[in-house]
Amino acid sequence: MNPLKIVTRAAPTGPVLRIDGALDYGNATALRDMLPTLALQPGQRLVLDLAGMEFCDSSGITALIAARNHAQAAQADIALAAVPPNTLRILRIVGLDQIFSFHPDSDAATRP
């Protein structure tokens, strides 16, 4: 497995984080630590692009929930893009498909 790499870019709707590698126990804190540094304004959308995510365990899911909580605290929205099928299955099993919106890719997620 590749180490976690997070690349941030700005979109008209708000920040986009591309998450590559393993979002797991050893790496999930990197995402959680990055959240307070994001300039997220009310009404914007934080997009987590998971196209390059190879693995996600319960710590990774907790980090995704932390990102949602951060967006809510900023009165912003959050969307997950290009969620790998195995992760999407787990998110649906635990009911997180009820609190996240899903998009096929980050371009679709950043359309106003």
pLDDT at 3: 86
Q: Name the H helices within the chain.
A: 28-34, 58-73, 85-93, 106-109
| Residue 78, C-beta contacts closer than 8 angstroms, at least 6 positions apart | 45, 46, 47, 48, 67, 68, 71, 72, 100, 101
In this structure, what are the phi and psi dihedrals at residue 41, rounded to the nearest 5 degrees?
Answer: -105, 155
Q: At 92, which amino acid appears? A: R
Q: Residue 38 sits in which domain range?
A: 5-109
Using CA atoms, how far apart are residues 4 and 63, in angstroms rounded to an integer?
13
The domain tally of the chain equals 1
Using CA atoms, how far apart are residues 96 and 10, in angstroms rounded to an integer?
26
Instruction: Give the CATH number, domain containing residue 37.
Output: 3.30.750.24
Does residue 1 carry a pLDDT above 90? no
**Assessment of whether the complete model's pTM goes beyond 0.85:** yes
Give the rounded percent of residues in the chain with a pLDDT score beyond 90: 96
Q: Summarize pLDDT for 4-23 with one digit per residue, the tens.
A: 999 999 999 999 999 999 99
Q: Summarize pLDDT for 39-91 with one digit per residue, the tens.
A: 899 999 999 999 999 999 999 999 999 999 999 999 999 999 999 999 999 99
